[in-house]
Chain A
Amino acid sequence: MSTVSDDALLEVGPLNKAFGTTPVLRDVSLTVRKGEFMTLLGPSGCGKTTTLRIIAGFEAPDGGRVRLSGVDVTDTPAYERDVHTVFQHYALFPHLSVADNIAFGMRMDKVPEDEIRRRVPEALSMVKLSGFEARRIQSLSGGQMQRVALARAIAGRPAVLLLDEPLGALDLKLRKEMQLELKNLQRRLGLAFIYVTHDQEEAMTMSDRIAVFNAGRIEQVGTPGEIYEMPKTSFVADFIGGANIFSAKVLPGAAGRAHLMLEDEYELDVPLDPYETLPEAGARVKIAIRPERVKVFYKDELPFGLIRFDAILKDTVFLGDACQIYLQMFKKAPERLAIAWAGGDRYAVHDDMDVPVIAAVQPEDVYILERDDA
């Protein structure tokens, strides 16, 4: 996303950063709009936390700028930036009461005490902890500490709120609750959130836009729908939702469509999205097919309009809400199994192994990804 709209609140990039000789960020550029929930998503060590720490002012980039509300704050120390952070392990002040924790930032900003007395309960009620003012930090549960950390960060009304895997230490049920609560809070406050997580489901649930990080780069920025339906790289396709990734050769074809030779065996003709470009004929590209979009037929019925693969069923795994079916799709590469998801009705799935089946996908469910130069 290189387009900078008028309501851009935070613009960073192109950030470069190395720790010693290890590069951790390579040309990372990002724009966050007013009131937007932006998630930085990626596996550990991908640079998402470093990006957040550069925005917060805890790290200086080797190259690139950070602009907040149109002002270059790259050289502004953390304590003078109008951003607040919710830390991974809360980082509450253990020697202060809940109220003093929340008031800390406002006292630093010289907010009058009578206004602080008004805003502390307000912040606590927003995180549903009314009446906790006098409690000691040590007496709180993990979920309550998380809420206090959140209240402390929003009480000072920053321009942007940074959240570094804030739900990572909570159990699954609490995490799900907090995800919805965070999203509601963000909408209510109209505050821009930059949220770091490695959990793709969390990112899909909460975000307006997601920036997918891999090995120090941003692979793709887009809405959850765009990221899921139009992945640009095999990493994005695989990391978000999971995907069967294959290699294909580009054959000459009609405009607006891609004519491909998949793994030297199947010829496909799939439509291109508008603005999607295809490498020249003869080049190799990677393609992705989502497991849940692969349909498996046990009888030889040719489904109309679908791309047909003659496959052999190798294994079936029942997972409760779904069945995972392993398929051998290619005669030339029998070890390369494809995965299909079927619904949770286990009796609809055959238990036999090594039987011929038909696997089929809609042409538009074949995603064309980056060039395959390997």
Chain B
Amino acid sequence: MDRALSWLLGGRKPAASHLLLAPASLWLIFFLIIPAGGLVLLSFAKTGPYGAIVWEFGFQNYRRAFDTKYLPVFARTLAFAGGTTALCLVLGYPLAYYLTFRAGRWRNALLVGLMVPFWSSCLVAYYSWMIVLGKEGLLNTALIRAGFLSAPIGFLYTPFAILLGLVYFYLPFTVLPLYASLEKVPRSVIEAAYDLGAGRWTAFFKVTLPLSLPGVVAGCVLTFIPCLGDFLTVEILGGPRYYLLGNLISNQFMMAQDWPFGSALTSILLAGLVGGLWLYQRWEKA
């Protein structure tokens, strides 16, 4: 075991520090490096008949992935992830601001309320949205009863339903980092801005907003990244017309039985994410 570890750690003798790092290292090795490595390896393999994997290596899966027919999927995925992130930011910033500065003693209750969709299974949440958005759902019934509509509108299986589902599910991912970073802005610094003659809006744009920027970026990253790989939302609320990269990948594994191609798509997504996170870290350090 020790020897294996020392080999993995680059031939150095396992000093005490290595032993202390061992649990974390093993965790990373077994749950990250081995599966991800296997995935990357698989992405270069060939697919045989009936989904068999042929261990002959080549770039054919990547060539296929960058075929123009998948371009709309990538574009759509980026658009939905970007749109969701933007909407979450627009909705989430005022919410986080309210929680931090105005909510007072209701703050903790509201934070728990915000976390509820996060804790409940998203399947439950999305099926509930189906009940709300369906042709005979709550929204249509209410609008018809109120006289705004004469016939039901198909809210479901539209980009609107997908965005709604994504925003609904990912909003806490945006709000919590924003809240954490607004919370860290010292009240006295905002008061100093008032003291020096800044009105509410000026103080916000000159002081509060710039000081909460790390939270804005963290919230966007934490929303955008999981959105890129999301497939359940589209599966349940979006229907097949709008399938995203996540659906394309899940189809390769679950339906098309083309694991190497699925792995190639996943590797591309992974490479994009790692590159993005690397840029984010560089920005954070700067």
Are B191 and A84 in contact, with the CB atoms below 8 A? no
Complex CA–CA separation, A84 to B199 (angstroms): 14
The 5 closest A-B pairs by CB, nearest first: A108-B197, A105-B196, A91-B188, A91-B192, A78-B194
Interface pair A79/B199, CB less than 8 Å apart: yes
Contact pattern, A 32-76, Cβ under 8 Å of B = 1, otherwise 0 = 000000000000000000000000111000000000000000000
Q: Are B195 and A78 in contact, with the CB atoms below 8 A?
A: yes
A84, closest chain B residue (CB): B195
Give, as a whole number of angstroms, the nearest-CB distance from A220 to chain B: 29
- A132 proximal to B (CB < 8 A): no
Distance (whole angstroms) from the CB of A168 to the closest CB of chain B? 13
CA distance A109 to B195 in the complex (A): 12
A95 to B212, CA, bound (A): 11
B202 within 8 A of A: yes
Q: Mark B103-115, 1 if CB is under 8 A from A, else 0.
A: 0000000000000
Looking at the complex, which one of B194, B202, B207, B211 makes contact with A77 (CB distance below 8 Å)?
B194
Residues of chain A contacted by B210 (CB below 8 angstroms): 95
Residue of A nearest to B194 (CB): A78
Does B186 reach chain A (CB closer than 8 Å)?
yes
A85 touches B197 (CB 8 A): no
Q: Is B198 an interface residue (CB 8 A)?
A: yes
Q: B183-227 vs A: 1/0 string, CB under 8 Å?
A: 000101101111111110011001100110000000000000000
Chain B, range 98-138, C-beta contacts under 8 Å to A: none
Query: What is the size, in residues, of chain A's interface with B at 8 Å between Cβ atoms?
Result: 24
Interface of B (DSSP majority class) = helix
Q: Does A230 contact B (CB under 8 A)?
A: no
Chain A proximity mask over B236-262: 1 for CB below 8 Å, otherwise 0: 000000000000000000000000000
Give Cα A93–Cα B195 distance, bound, in whole angstroms: 13
Whether, in the assembled complex, A94 has its beta carbon less than 8 Å from a beta carbon of chain B, the answer is: yes
Can you list 21 A-B contacts (CB < 8 A)? A58-B191, A58-B194, A58-B195, A78-B194, A78-B195, A79-B194, A79-B195, A83-B195, A84-B195, A85-B191, A87-B192, A91-B186, A91-B188, A92-B189, A93-B189, A93-B193, A94-B189, A108-B196, A109-B197, A152-B192, A156-B196
| 1/0 contact string of A165-177 vs chain B (CB within 8 Å) | 0000000000000
Most buried by A among B194, B195, B206: B195
A56 CA / B192 CA spacing, docked (Å):
10
Closest residue of B by beta carbon distance from A87: B188
Contact B196 A84 (CB under 8 A): yes
Expressed in whole angstroms, the Cα–Cα distance for A56 and B193 within the complex equals 12
- The reply to whether A79 and B198 form a contact with Cβ atoms under 8 Å apart is yes
**Can you name the residue of chain A whose Cβ is closest to the Cβ of B191?**
A58
Interface status of A104 (Cβ within 8 A of chain B):
yes
With a cutoff of 8 Å between Cβ atoms, the chain B residues found around residue A85 in the complex are: 191-192, 195
Contact indicator A105/B211 (Cβ below 8 Å): no
- Please indicate the chain B residues that have their CB under 8 angstroms from the CB of A88 in the complex: 188
B199 proximity list for chain A (CB < 8 A): 77, 79
CB atoms of A87 and B191 under 8 A apart: yes
Which B residues touch A79, using CB under 8 A? 194-199, 203
Chain A residues near B193: list those with CB within 8 A: 93, 104
Q: Does A26 have its Cβ within 8 Å of any Cβ on chain B?
A: no
Chain A min CB distance to B104 (Å): 12
Contact of B195 with A56 in the complex, beta carbons under 8 Å: yes
73-87 of chain B: CB within 8 A of chain A? none
- Would you give the shortest CB distance from B101 to chain A, in whole angstroms? 14
- Give complex CA distance A88, B197 in Å: 19
- Contact in complex: A93, B198 (CB < 8 Å): no
Task: Report if A89 contacts B (CB, 8 A).
Answer: yes
Chain B contacts for A152, CB-based, 8 A: 192, 196
A83 contacts which chain B residues (CB < 8 A)? 195
Please determine whether B211 and A95 come into contact, CB atoms closer than 8 angstroms: yes
A152 to B192, CA, bound (A): 10
Whether B186 lies near A108 (C-beta < 8 A) is no
- Complex contacts, A89 vs chain B, CB 8 Å: 186, 188
B191 and A104 within 8 A (CB): no
Contacts of B195 in A (CB 8 A): 56-58, 78-79, 83-85
Residue of B188, B191, B207 touching A78 (CB-CB under 8 A): B191
Which chain B positions have C-beta within 8 A of A80? 197
- Residues of chain B within 8 A of A95, CB atoms compared: 207, 210-211
Q: Which of chain A's residues have a CB closer than 8 A to the CB of B194?
A: 57-58, 77-79
Contacts of B202 in A (CB 8 A): 108
Which residue of chain A is the closest to B185 with respect to CB atoms? Answer: A94
